[in-house]
Amino acid sequence: MAQLDRVLGVFPTAAAVQAKRLEVIAGNIANASTPQYRARDVDFRAALREAGDEMRLAVTHQKHIESPEQLTRDALQYRVPLAPARDGNTVETHIEEAAYGDA
């Protein structure tokens, strides 16, 4: 397994972080009409850096490495809206759709 980890490198972690980002963006889109909902996004670089730090700390057993589902404040941030809605919702559907397509 260690040899496979060396071959794949950071790609499994990057794929997991990207999947979490897509989940967060999909949640934003699903809550586009929810009053007071604040859109969020994942800072991919911060999340990948955190996941990399965890990997360096715990390599004795495969199950010691945590998944990126536990993102810290550095990685999971609120999105700053260009034009917030009157009801306090900060989701801008066109921005979320572009981010989803870009991820």
Give the residue extent of every domain in the chain.
2-102
pLDDT band at 60 (very low <50, low <70, confident <90, very high): low
Are the beta carbons of 27 and 95 closer than 8 angstroms? no
In the beta sheet, which residues pair with residue 41? 77
The predicted structure's pLDDT at residue 58: 45
Q: Is-above-0.85 flag for pTM?
A: no
Q: What is the pLDDT of residues 5-58, one digit of tens each?
A: 666 777 888 888 889 999 999 999 999 999 999 999 998 888 878 776 655 444
Can you tell me whether residue 41 is helix, strand or coil?
A: strand
| 66 vs 23, more confident | 23
Q: How many residues does the chain have?
A: 103
Alpha carbon distance, N-terminus to C-terminus of the chain: 29
Tokens standing for residue 46: 């911060």
